[in-house]
Amino acid sequence: MPGRRWYLESTMDIPEPHAFTVELTISGQAYSVVFEEHEHTEAHTGHAAHHRDHNMRAAYVHVLADAFVSVLAIIGLLLAKAFGWLWMDPLAGVVGALVIANWSYGLIRDTGGILVDMNPDKNIGGRIKAALEANGDTLLDLHVWRIGPGHLGAIVSVATPQAQREAQFYHALLCRFQALSHITVEVHPLSAG
């Protein structure tokens, strides 16, 4: 008989993915298959909106919606049978449809933003502008867009009175924004006049 806490075994033994070896025997021949974990850098571990896994979210919504509608349909059928409320089953269907529509709308809104290159961090443009203009430079143009989960790209056009400042100066200035994976900088020296 298993121990009293057997149902917690997997949560105690496998707290996170780890390396392991699987021994297989196929047609009398033994094989070892090694599965290794890979390192997760800081860019992969954030929990901001631009790090969400929309596929997993869609799977959860699908499973929850199926379970919810099934329970609602059973309740509607039981109430219709027990009390003669023939309207309860269709009402349960309509309520289920409205709840699923609400969940679907949220998912479509978030994934639709990805399809039209919506910037998930609404404040990053202001923070980039403040960082660039803190040294007396002028931001002429800024474009920020999503290039992948947790990664943003930026095109920056800066006018500076410091003729010796090159693009590398601004790359170094913007490296504090970890979400910026690809930065293109255009530098325009201001004429002294």
Whether 50 and 109 map to the same domain: the answer is yes
Domain boundary among 72, 93, 115: 115
Return the structure tokens found at 153.
């790209």
Whether 107 and 142 map to the same domain: the answer is no
Domain boundary among 115, 133, 155: 115
Whether 129 and 177 map to the same domain: the answer is yes
Domain housing 160:
124-189
User: For the residues of the chain, what is the DSSP string, one character each?
Assistant: ---TTGGGHHHHH-SS---EEEEEEETTEEEEEEE------GGGS--SGGG--HHHHHHHHHHHHHHHHHHHHHHHHHHHHHH--TTHHHHHHHHHHHHHHHHHHHHHHHHHHHHTT--S-TTHHHHHHHHHHTTT-EEEEEEEEEEETTEEEEEEEEEES-TT--HHHHHHHHTT-TTEEEEEEEEEEPP--
Whether 129 and 94 map to the same domain: the answer is no
Domain boundary among 68, 90, 115: 115
Return the structure tokens found at 141.
């143009």
pTM of the model: 0.49
Are 160 and 188 in contact by the 8 Å Cβ rule? The answer is yes
Considering its fold, how many domains does the chain have in total?
Answer: 2
Whether 131 and 82 map to the same domain: the answer is no
Whether 105 and 132 map to the same domain: the answer is no
pLDDT in tens for each of the 193 residues of the chain? 555 665 555 555 554 555 667 787 788 888 877 766 555 444 444 444 445 677 787 888 888 888 888 898 898 889 888 999 888 888 888 988 898 898 889 888 878 877 777 776 778 999 999 999 998 899 999 998 888 777 888 999 999 998 888 899 999 999 999 888 899 999 998 876 5
